[in-house]
Amino acid sequence: MVKVLIVDDSAFMRNALTSMISADPEIQVIGVARDGIEAVEKVSQLKPDIVTLDVEMPRMNGIEALRQIMHNNPVPVLMVSSLTTEGAKVTLEALDIGAVDFIPKNLSDLSINIVKIKEDLIEKIKKIGRKGLPVFRKTPSAKSLQIPKASIDAAHRRVHIVAIGSSTGGPKALQNIITKLPKDFPVPILIAQHMPPNFTGPFAERLNQLSSITVKEAENGETVKKGVVYIAPGKGHMRIVRKKITETTISISESRENYIYRPSVDALILSIVENFSGHVLGVILTGLGNDGLTGMKEIKNNGGRTIAESENSCVVYGMPKAVVDAGLADKIVSVEEVAGEIINSV
């Protein structure tokens, strides 16, 4: 049984969340709190397996409460976030402090997708609550991770482009990886992270501020350049189009197509394999489900290389597990080792 503490100053949200997750017999809501002060006290008293935590609350807000919880009684926390640009910035700060993921605040406005939201929320709570906080180790800084000299010559490169897919727990994992890459990284990196539309821009900006390498939210029609990390916008699927040997551009499609998630990891990887064949490195990080499995299979079928994050550092061992179980991973490493493996592949 996964024990949950719900923290929100809105009685409607407390009731809505309680009703949604209590529908599963393997989840028990053991308490509710109306503000950050109550949250800190009840985490200490009730020892929940996981907490849902609102941001804007009286007396003590969610960010301060999160700081105290992670310092005094560390436990997996899902932030209840407004799907706005400002909400995104606060949520990213929370993820940096230690929250594992977020859920949408305006559940009442999402009635069309309520079944999907409920399923995702229940799955996140069960998998994260049972696993607990992921294990992280201190790793080398970006300055100590160097690109092998032999790989600087394009003729010796084994990989011409890197594709990364991630979902639940991905923002923190990506920060761990991208901030270790050098400014002169010799190939482009394209990332599909499952995120709402207003989140991917602030996320790219935050990564760019923290990293030596350039990071940006991808734009439709722009030319792909080496040494740049492109984050797929949450509003659509990102693909690449190779107009000629020396020019590759980005294409953003805002239609949902047949993919469950937008942006889709599979849509991105399949387009990259189509244009770069065996010179692709695919990386699958923490996340629910199996998005990216089809793409990673195509990378292997075309002679490319693949990396899957190991279970110990995943917030949710879903997407990497699908790749590992299918026998498609050349390397299975903790998130702290991914940057080094990427650097050694170019």
* Active site residue ranges: 167, 194, 291
- The angle that helices 170-178 and 197-210 make with each other, rounded to 10 degrees, is 30
Is the separation of the CB atoms in 131 and 101 below 8 Å?
no
The closest of 185, 178, 176, 179 to 148, measured between CA atoms, is 185
DSSP assignment, residue 111?
Answer: G
The closest of 288, 327, 336, 328 to 309, measured between CA atoms, is 336
CA dihedral 79, 81, 83, 88 (to 10 degrees): -70
Q: What residue type is assigned to position 129 of the chain? A: G
DSSP assignment, residue 322?
Answer: H
The closest of 182, 183, 269 to 232, measured between CA atoms, is 269
Provide the CA 49 distance to its chain's centre, in angstroms.
21
Strand order in the sheet with 228-231: 214-217, 228-231, 189-193, 161-166, 280-284, 305-309, 331-333
Cα–Cα distance, 245 to 338 (Å, whole number): 29
